Every structure is written in structure tokens, then in C-alpha cells.
Amino acid sequence: MRKPFIIANWKMNKNVHESVDFVRAIKEKLPANKEIGIAAQAVSLYNMKKVAGASNLQIIAQNAAAELEGPYTGEISMRSLADAGVTYVMLGHLERRRLFNESNTAINQKVLAALKAGIVPIICTDEEMVQTEVNGKIHYVFQQLKSVLRDVPVNKLSQIVISYEPSWAVGSSHQANPEIAEEGCQAIRQSLADTYNNDIADKMRILYGGSVNPHNIYQIMSKPNVDGALIGRASLDIDSFLQMINYVELASKEKLQVI
């Protein structure tokens, strides 16, 4: 069974002190039946990991270089991130593609570098897909994801995390639609099954990202192909984030209040 994974993506928010204080406030309140992570600015990651200690909080990098070392001024090495205790790295986020012109080829190189350094990639992908019909059955091919996963060893695929992010939902005020989240995640899973096999597709966790908040996370997480959420602005507040990582309890509480 795939373990739910809830991730806060802070983008370029919170300084070192704010990041450490946030970790200190939540680290003893994390549910054991879910994986919880925070993707913060690189300058904060080492200190966050030290404060997180032996808790099950995953410290996540928002980006890193494709090269493990060398004359690349301003870049961040995957090896250095691993040495700092980073367990995951987010790659291919829509904002990286739009603002920094990151290509599928560049992201693919970063995925391979992350795996070489022992860091698990969280690969972000949007709704770019090609619909095909085979023997009367509709299949989806995510060209973006197919390119980014090129040359990844088959035995490494099941540990990789995918995040489905519709471009219209990222950084917007739109309400996330649970049906759209399920449709996109299911299509990605089918595409993985078609490209590799059902076993790999069943093991890979697929998250949904885009306008997730305390009011819609339970409905989104209730969908069978949604294994987690990548949360932006709603994750910046401690109480809001704690509510979202305990979405089942939150839904029960709201139902009781309505009654």
C-alpha cells in the first residue's frame, strides 16, 4: 500500500530562523501513518534537518544541479544536499520551467544526478499528454514525463515520486478540483503502466499540486490514485499545515461542527 505523502513547498518564503521555528513547532505532532516533508530554501535545509532530528519529517530541496561537483558558480550539488541530510529533491516544478527555462533534458540530467547521490527525486509534471487509442482503449502518454525519466534504471523507478500539477492551478486562487486531481493522477499511472508495467505503476506515489488547502485536501486525498499533496501558500502557516497533514481528523471535526 502506498504511504500518503504531504509536502509543504515554501518556494522563496521563510528565512532560516522562521524555517527552524516552524520545524520545532510541528516535529512532535507528525502522524506516523503518513510521510511529511518540507521543501525550503537551500540555505535553511541543514539547520532544519538538525532541528528535525530523529522525527519522521523529510527535508526537501527545491532544486539542484545536474553535475555532482565542478566549476558551476552559484549551483547546489546533490552530494552536498545529501551530506546535509536532505532526503528528497523537487525537480521540474512549473515555475522552474517557466521562469528559468528548464527543459526536459536538463531535468532528466538532474533526476539521474539525484539518484546517483542517493536523493529521491520528486518529479513535477503538468497536463501535457498525448491521447492515443490502442485496440479500442484510450491510453495517455505524458511526453514530458517520458522524457524526464529517460535512462532511469527500472529498479529505481518505484522510489521516485511524481507530482501532477495542472498549470492553471499552480500559484492561483482557483479551488482545486478533486475530480481533476484524480483524472490526472490516474492518467499518469496508466501511462507509467503502459510504458513500464503495472507493478511499477502501482508502487509509484503520485501527488497532486495546485491550490490545495484545508478545505479541499480531504476530498483530494480520498481519491484512489492521489497519494499525496504538494502544497504551496496554504503550507506557510503552522496551524493550517497541521490541519492538512491530519486531514481525516479535520474532516471529521468539520462534519461534527456542521451537525
Residue percentage of the chain with pLDDT more than 70: 87
Cβ contact 143:193 at 8 Å? no
Question: Domain total for the chain?
Answer: 1
CA distance 259 to 256: 5
- What's 171-191 look like in SS3? CCCCCCCHHHHHHHHHHHHHH
Over the range 208-223, which residues count as b (16 or more CB within 10 Å of their CB) and which as e?
Answer: bbbbbbbebbbbbbeb
Q: Does a structural domain hold residue 251?
A: no
* Nearest to 110, CA basis, from 167, 72, 155, 58: 72
pTM of the prediction?
0.90
**Active-site residue identified among 35, 95, 165, 182:** 165
Catalytic-residue membership of 17: no
Binding-site residue numbers for substrate are 9-11, 171, 211
> Lowest-pLDDT range, 117-121, 157-161, 246-250?
246-250
Chain segment 121-157, per-residue pLDDT in tens = 999 998 655 555 556 665 556 778 889 999 999 999 9
Whether pLDDT at 105 is above 90: yes
* Nearest to 52, CA basis, from 20, 15, 90, 4: 20
Catalytic-residue membership of 174: no
pLDDT of residue 126: 80
- Cα angle: 35, vertex 154, 62; to 5 degrees: 40
Domain residues for the domain of 208 are 5-246
Average pLDDT over residues 62-86: 96
> 259: pLDDT confidence band, cut at 50, 70 and 90?
very low
Chain segment 194-246, per-residue pLDDT in tens = 889 999 999 999 999 988 999 999 999 999 999 999 999 999 999 999 999 99
**Active-site residue identified among 93, 95, 102, 182:** 93
Q: Does a structural domain hold residue 256?
A: no
Q: Does a structural domain hold residue 223?
A: yes
Whether pLDDT at 258 is above 50: no
> How many CB atoms sit inside 10 A of residue 190's CB?
19
Q: What is the mean pLDDT of the chain?
A: 90
Q: Does a structural domain hold residue 254?
A: no
Residues 6+ apart with CB under 8 A from 175: 211, 216
pLDDT of residue 132: 59
Whether pLDDT at 256 is above 50: no
Q: Does a structural domain hold residue 257?
A: no
What cell numbers appear for 59 in the block?
A: 527535508
Q: Does a structural domain hold residue 252?
A: no
Q: Does a structural domain hold residue 208?
A: yes
Whether pLDDT at 253 is above 80: no
Of the two residues 180 and 243, the one the predictor is more confident about is 243
Binding-site residue numbers are 9-11, 171, 211
- What's the chain look like in SS3? CCCCEEEEECCCCCCHHHHHHHHHHHCCCCCCCCEEEEEECHHHHHHHHHHHCCCCEEEEECCCCCCCCCCCCCCCCHHHHHHCCCCEEEECCHHHHHHHCCCHHHHHHHHHHHHHHCCEEEEEECCCCEEEEECCEEEEECHHHHHHCCCCCHHHHCCCEEEECCCCCCCCCCCCCHHHHHHHHHHHHHHHHHHCCHHHHHHCEEEEECCCCCCCHHHHHCCCCCCEEEECHHHCCHHHHHHHHCHHHHHHHHHHHHC
pLDDT of residue 133: 59
Average pLDDT over residues 10-21: 98
Give the CATH number for residue 221.
Answer: 3.20.20.70
Q: Does a structural domain hold residue 182?
A: yes
- What's 100-143 look like in SS3? HCCCHHHHHHHHHHHHHHCCEEEEEECCCCEEEEECCEEEEECH
Q: Supply the Cα-derived Rg of the chain in whole angstroms.
A: 18
